[in-house]
């Protein structure tokens, strides 16, 4: 019904091809120039130039890039933020959830998703090595605005209770491995493992004071625990706080490295899957009908 009356029927096909590489075009170890956007078929005829001159063409091509980059940032921000807050949000919202077991385990695993997909898109199609940092900056913009305007501004929690997890060092590591190695396999193994390992040390400078022990009415607890007890969240009571559970207590102080290595291991697997998710959503195919 929507279809017009084409003078030349365009084939239903991809207009942009991925660059060649191992695993069927999923990146290469050797530096291979990325496929230009629109370099493949000319399935729809171009009957003349739309530009009056080269200056106008230069301006408009740059304008198109800029508009799309801003759109990408905001849309990825929205998608990544809703993914993040509903898979690891409680550990990120509150200081008394930032424990030594679940926080360094869960966050890297669920957060490596969008960066892996974005690395596929930016690296494979544009040879731009900032996919992970692009996603993480978007997420942090969304989180910081919310923590100030809503957590503090509407429901009056102090920022010391609700600061979001620092993620930029992890993202930079992931992107740097992609840039230096030029290989998505190496990025998956080395980068995603580093992504998992770096969460705790990246946040330690701000987190350490809150994990100091203190005594209150005969009970030993951390400063983070006390802040949590003081600021009661009525619809998220203490009995559903998921922290410091499990037999890993047996290992005493060494639980964080174990959690981080496990997290890094699973991040490798998640990176692998989400590289292909990025490829799936970068499709330029057309369907004959829906």
Partner 1 sequence: MSLISETSAARAGAEASSAERPIFNPVPLAIGSAAICIWYVLVRIYEQYFGWYAGLDSFTPEFQTYWMTILYIEEPVELISFLALVGYLWKTRDKDVANVAPREELRRIFNLLSWILVYAVAIYWGASFFTEQDGTWHQTVIRDNDFTPSHIIEFYMSYPMYIIVGVGGFMYARTRLPTFACKGWSVAYVLLFVGPFMIFPNVALNEWGHTFWFMEELFVAPLHWMFVFFGWFALAVFGVSLQVLGRVKELAEGAPIPAE
Range 120-159, binding partner 1 (CB under 8 A): 121, 125, 142-143, 145-146, 149-151, 153-155, 157
Neighbour tally for 129: CB within 10 Å:
19
Alpha carbons 282 and 230: distance in angstroms, whole number: 47
Q: Give the range of 6-14, 168-176, 185-193, 262-270 binding partner 1 by CB under 8 A.
A: 6-14
Select 30 or 290, whichever has its Cβ closest to partner 1: 290
Select 82 or 168, whichever has its Cβ closest to partner 1: 82
Positions in 20-79 near partner 1 (CB under 8 A)? 36-40, 42-44, 46-54, 56-57, 60-61, 63-65, 67-68, 70-79
Among 27, 28, 93, 173, binds partner 1 (CB under 8 A): 93
Q: Give, in order, the Cα–Cα distances in Å from 247 to each of 236, 255, 266.
A: 25, 10, 20
Under a CB-based contact definition with an 8 Å cutoff, are residues 107 and 88 in contact?
Answer: yes
Under a CB-based contact definition with an 8 Å cutoff, are residues 135 and 76 in contact?
Answer: yes
Q: Please, what is the minimum distance in Å from the beta carbon of residue 105 to partner 1?
A: 13
Select 68 or 269, whichever has its Cβ closest to partner 1: 68
Positions in 154-183 near partner 1 (CB under 8 A)? 154-155, 157, 162
Q: Please, what is the minimum distance in Å from the beta carbon of residue 64 to partner 1?
A: 5
Instruction: Report the SS3 class of residue 231.
Output: coil
Select 28 or 140, whichever has its Cβ closest to partner 1: 140
Positive or negative: CA dihedral 87, 93, 97, 102: positive
Alpha carbons 68 and 57: distance in angstroms, whole number: 17
Select 214 or 269, whichever has its Cβ closest to partner 1: 269
Q: Please, what is the minimum distance in Å from the beta carbon of residue 60 to partner 1?
A: 6
Alpha carbons 90 and 242: distance in angstroms, whole number: 9
Q: Please, what is the minimum distance in Å from the beta carbon of residue 102 to partner 1?
A: 10
Positions in 176-215 near partner 1 (CB under 8 A)? none
Under a CB-based contact definition with an 8 Å cutoff, are residues 190 and 162 in contact?
Answer: no
Select 70 or 180, whichever has its Cβ closest to partner 1: 70
Q: What are phi and psi of 215, to 5 degrees?
A: -110, 130
Positions in 221-250 near partner 1 (CB under 8 A)? 233-237, 240
Under a CB-based contact definition with an 8 Å cutoff, are residues 29 and 20 in contact?
Answer: no
């Amino acid at each position: 019904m929507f279809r017009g009356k084409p003078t030349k029927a365009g084939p239903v096909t991809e207009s942009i091809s991925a660059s060649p590489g191992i695993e069927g075009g999923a990146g290469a170890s050797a530096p291979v120039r990325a496929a230009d956007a629109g370099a493949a078929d000319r399935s729809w005829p171009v009957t003349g130039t739309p530009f009056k001159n080269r200056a106008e063409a230069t301006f408009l091509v740059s304008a198109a890039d800029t508009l799309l980059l801003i759109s990408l940032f905001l849309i990825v921000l929205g998608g990544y933020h809703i993914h993040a807050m509903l898979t690891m949000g409680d550990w990120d919202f509150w200081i008394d959830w930032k424990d030594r077991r679940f926080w360094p385990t869960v966050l890297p695993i669920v957060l490596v998703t969008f960066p892996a997909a974005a690395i596929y898109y930016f690296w494979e199609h544009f040879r731009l090595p900032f996919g992970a940092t692009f996603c993480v900056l978007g997420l942090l913009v969304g989180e910081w605005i919310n923590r100030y305007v809503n957590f503090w501004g509407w429901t009056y929690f102090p920022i010391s209770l609700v600061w979001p997890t620092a993620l930029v060092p992890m993202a930079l590591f992931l992107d740097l491995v992609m840039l230096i190695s030029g290989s998505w396999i190496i990025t998956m193994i080395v980068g995603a493992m580093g992504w998992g390992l770096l969460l705790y040390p990246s946040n330690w400078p701000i987190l350490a004071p809150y994990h100091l022990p203190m005594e209150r009415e005969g009970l030993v607890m951390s400063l983070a625990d006390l802040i949590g007890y003081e600021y009661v969240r009525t619809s998220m009571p203490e009995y559903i706080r998921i922290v410091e559970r499990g037999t890993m207590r047996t290992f005493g102080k060494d639980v964080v490295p174990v959690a981080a290595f496990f997290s890094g291991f699973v991040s490798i697997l998640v990176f692998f899957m989400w590289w292909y998710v990025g490829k799936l959503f970068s499709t330029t195919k057309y369907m004959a009908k829906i």
